[in-house]
Structures are given as C-alpha cells and as structure tokens.
C-alpha cells in the first residue's frame, strides 16, 4: 500500500512537470484563474494555443495511438499528466466534450476516411466538436429523443431541437443523434450522424443559466440536409453507438469542481464569532470533518482506480461515486458557508464577498452539477443496477412503438 510512482511513472511525471513549469504558472489559492478572467473569445484563443502546444510536446490525448496523432502513451500516463496539469492555471473547459466524448466515438465508429479527416485537427484544438444528444423531452430518458431524420432520395432531412449542448456556439462539428423510425420501439429507431455546424438550417441559441453564465445552448434544426455519407451508425443502430459515447462522458465529467474544505477553512479562520473565529466553533468543526472525509475519500478512491490502471487492469465502478458525492457536497458546503457569513452571505461580488464569492458561485453552479452528466437519481440507479445487480425498472415503454408512447410536457 503506497502512493509511489513506478520508476517509469516518476520519470514521466517529471517530464510533465518540466513541460508545465516551462509553459504555465502554478495556481494560487484564493485567486481566480485565467479561465474565469478572460473574455470568451480570449479564452477560446488561449485554449486553442495551449492545446496545440500540448500536441507539439506529445501531451495532448496521451493515450491515443500514433495513428490518430497521439503519442501512443498509456492510460496511467494520461492520468499523471492530468494530475499535474490541474495544478496549473491553464485555459479550461473548451475541449472536454470534443476530445473526451466526441473523438473517442469517431475513432470507434467512423470510417477510415472520416478519421483521417477529423481526428488530428480535433486533437490539436483546431476544430471543436459538440454532442447533439439531449432534447427538451429527453434528458435522463435520452432514448426518448424526437428530432427526426427522414430519408429522401438525396440523403436525410433533419427537423427538431437539441438542448444543453455544451460549447455548440464554439463548435465546428457535432455528433447528432436522431430518430429515423418512430414506428418501432424507441431504442431501435435511432441513428447517429456527424454534422457541420455551419450547415444551413442549424441555429444555435445560448441558454442563460442561473449562474449568469452561458455554457450551454439550444440547437434548432430546420430542414437541415445531411448526406447519407455523414451517417456513422447503422440505420436504427444509434442507441448502441450513443451508449459508448455516454460511458466516455461519465469518465470525462468526473467530480464537480468548486469551493470545498480548503476554501471553507480559509473563510472560517477569518470570520469572527462568539468563540473567536468560526474555525474554533465546535459545530463548524464537526461539519468540516464530515466534508473533509468525503473529499479525501473521493481523492483516495481515484488513487485506487489509478492503482488498477497502473497494474494494467480496468478500473471498477468505484469512481462512479465521485460526481454524486461532490456535487451534493458543493451545494451543502456553499450553503453553510453563506450561513456562516450571516446577512453578508447574500452579497455576490468577487470584489466584496468573502473568498472572492467562491461560495456564492458554487451555490449557483451546484444545482447544474447535480444534473449534468447524469442526475443524482440516475447515477444512483446506475450504481444499484450495474454495480449492485438490482433488477431494472419495470418499463412501460419497452415493447411499444415510439409513436404510441404517452407524452407529457
């Protein structure tokens, strides 16, 4: 039982640190990073430059084979680099879907021609991809999508609406899940395509979130013409293709980032109360201990998954708990941190609020974190069914054609 790198891992880690130290600055506690300081345009530019730089030094998509422009490294190398990279203040949040979700699917499902055309530019950050899956009436129940792709003599015509599409406004291309046959049961009537986001008939509208940010979009499709050559699953084989993509998504999203124990202790050590500072308040200390045990528990669980990787195995389901635990904790911890500030907690200004408003920000972000990448409830179903072997839900939609299912709002 130890945390030591193998000799090879240690030398790889050193190589990563050398690269990072040469090209980036380390994060400083209590100071907002460049990802939250730059304008959206400047962040996009910086992110693309960083990605290209990583590609030049063999640190982009480390576990991808040389054939697809990666350095052909191991999964553990990829994790080691990510561990070190997160200590540095680099532009974040642009390529997660593109490289973590879409490209692995293209590599798995696409034709040789398609892969030759798209994988390398995506890896270098020159082109960005989005995932056009969720719809207003199909979130947790993704197979319930209604966006129609109808076959014509010259290909397909798509009509419908997607939603929660991260970075659609920045994306050049998208992976699109459609319904091609509503007369069969819902999982059988789906087909996947790739689409150029500049295709006539596609309209991207940003969604304003409660945090005031707009990371997501609605994407409308009106008579969008797509040639059959852009189909990347069998007709009716879209669900199977999508399942592979979703599995990668859960890995890519990981834990929820935001205020945690460190920030809470920083706040408490400065806040006055009857017993001196809040840090000395027994009730505070009991809560801190509980949250700390969770955070450490998740970090250490990651170490266990890494160990499996390091021993050449495939990590088990343990990491599925990370987002569930940390998103819920983000909400509760931020809420408590604002209570500690008394009336002052209501103020939401990076300049005036305690700890540069990190708790107010986390509190507004947390509801979304508990939903994105699988709601708390869906994640618990996944744990219960796939890990603990509980029987699946009794389904009322399983053996009926999609167009005969009851619909609500």
Partner 1 sequence: MDFDFTEDQKHLQQEARRFLSANCGTARVRQVLDEPDTPFDAELWTAMADLGWQGAILPEAYGGSGMGATDLCAIAEELGRAVNPTPFASSVYAFAEAVNLLGSEQQKSRILPHIASGHQIGCIATAEGAGRPDLECAFVDSSITGRKVPVTDGDVADWAIALANDSHGESLYLIELKRHGVSTSTLPTLDPTRSCAEIKFAGASAAPLGEAGSGKALLQKIHDRAAVFVAFEQLGGAEAALATAQDYAQQRYAFGRAIGSFQAVKHKLARIYVANQIARSNCYFGAWALESQSEELPRAAAAARIAATRAFQLAASEMIEIFGGIGTTWETDCHLFYRRAKQLSLFLGPINMWKERLAAEIEKQWAHADSHGGNL
Summarize as ranges the residues that interact with partner 1 (CB under 8 A).
Answer: 1-6, 9, 26-29, 76, 87, 261-262, 265, 279, 282, 285-286, 288-290, 292-294, 296-301, 303-304, 306-308, 310-311, 318, 321, 324-325, 377, 379-381, 383-385, 387-394
The least distance separating partner 1 from the CB of residue 397, rounded to whole angstroms, comes to: 16
The least distance separating partner 1 from the CB of residue 88, rounded to whole angstroms, comes to: 10
**CB closer to partner 1, 38 vs 382:** 382
**CB closer to partner 1, 66 vs 311:** 311
Candidates 306, 245, 373; CA nearest to 78 is 306
Place of tokens 């949250």: 291
**CB closer to partner 1, 37 vs 303:** 303
The least distance separating partner 1 from the CB of residue 173, rounded to whole angstroms, comes to: 35
**CB closer to partner 1, 191 vs 301:** 301
Contact 195, 173 (CB under 8 A): yes
**CB closer to partner 1, 32 vs 201:** 32
Region of residue 125 (phi > 0: left; psi between -120 and 50: alpha; otherwise: beta): left
The least distance separating partner 1 from the CB of residue 394, rounded to whole angstroms, comes to: 6
Residue 360, both tokens: 């107010």
The least distance separating partner 1 from the CB of residue 360, rounded to whole angstroms, comes to: 20
R_g (Cα) of the chain, nearest Å = 23
The least distance separating partner 1 from the CB of residue 114, rounded to whole angstroms, comes to: 36
**CB closer to partner 1, 127 vs 397:** 397
**CB closer to partner 1, 109 vs 259:** 259
The least distance separating partner 1 from the CB of residue 76, rounded to whole angstroms, comes to: 8
User: Could you tell me where the DSSP H helices lie in 64-194?
Assistant: 75-85, 96-97, 103-109, 112-123
The least distance separating partner 1 from the CB of residue 34, rounded to whole angstroms, comes to: 16
Residue 282, both tokens: 């027994």
Phi, psi of 320 (to 5 degrees): -65, -15
**CB closer to partner 1, 79 vs 99:** 79
Three-state secondary structure of 235-289: CCCHHHHHHHHHHHHHHHHCCCCCCCHHHHHHHHCCCEECCEEHHHCHHHHHHHH
Place of tokens 């059988």: 188
If 0-12 CB within 10 Å is exposed, 13-18 middle and 19+ buried, where does residue 333 land? buried
**Hey, CA dihedral for 16, 18, 22, 26, is it positive or negative?**
positive
Phi, psi of 162 (to 5 degrees): -105, 160
């Amino acid at each position: 039982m130890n945390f030591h790198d193998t000799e090879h891992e240690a030398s790889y880690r050193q190589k990563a640190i050398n690269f990072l130290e040469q090209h980036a600055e380390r994060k400083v506690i209590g100071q907002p990073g460049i990802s939250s300081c730059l304008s959206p345009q400047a962040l996009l530019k910086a992110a693309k430059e960083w990605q290209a730089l990583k590609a030049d030094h063999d640190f982009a998509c480390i576990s991808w084979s040389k054939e697809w422009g990666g350095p052909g490294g191991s999964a553990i190398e990829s994790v080691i680099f990510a561990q070190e990279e997160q200590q540095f203040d680099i532009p974040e949040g642009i390529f997660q879907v593109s490289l973590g979700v879409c490209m692995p699917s293209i590599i798995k499902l696409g034709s040789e021609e398609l892969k030759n055309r798209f994988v390398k530019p995506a890896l270098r950050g020159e082109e960005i991809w989005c995932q056009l899956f969720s719809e207003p009436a199909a979130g947790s129940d993704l197979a319930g999508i209604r966006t129609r792709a109808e076959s014509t003599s010259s290909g397909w015509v798509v009509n419908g609406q997607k939603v929660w599409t991260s970075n659609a406004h920045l994306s050049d291309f998208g992976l699109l899940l459609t319904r091609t046959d509503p007369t069969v049961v819902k999982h059988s009537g789906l087909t996947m395509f790739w689409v150029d986001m500049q295709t006539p008939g596609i309209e991207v509208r940003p969604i304003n979130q409660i945090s005031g940010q707009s990371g997501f979009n609605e994407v409308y499709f009106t008579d969008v013409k797509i040639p059959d050559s852009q189909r990347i699953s069998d007709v009716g084989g879209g669900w199977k293709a999508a399942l592979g993509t979703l599995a990668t998504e859960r890995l890519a999203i990981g834990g929820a980032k935001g205020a945690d124990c460190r920030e809470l202790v920083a706040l408490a050590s400065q806040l006055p109360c009857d017993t001196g500072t809040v840090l000395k308040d027994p009730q505070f200390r009991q809560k801190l201990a509980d949250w700390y045990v969770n955070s450490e528990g998740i970090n250490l669980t990651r170490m266990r998954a890494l160990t499996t990787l390091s021993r050449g195995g495939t990590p088990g389901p343990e990491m599925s708990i990370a987002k569930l635990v940390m998103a819920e904790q983000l909400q509760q911890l931020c809420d408590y941190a604002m209570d500690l500030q008394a009336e002052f907690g209501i103020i939401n200004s990076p300049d005036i609020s305690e700890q540069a408003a990190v708790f107010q920000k986390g509190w507004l972000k947390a509801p979304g974190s508990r939903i994105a990448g699988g709601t708390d409830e869906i994640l618990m179903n996944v744990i219960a069914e796939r890990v603990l072997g509980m029987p699946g839900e009794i389904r009322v939609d399983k053996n009926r054609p999609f167009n005969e299912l009851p619909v609500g709002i």
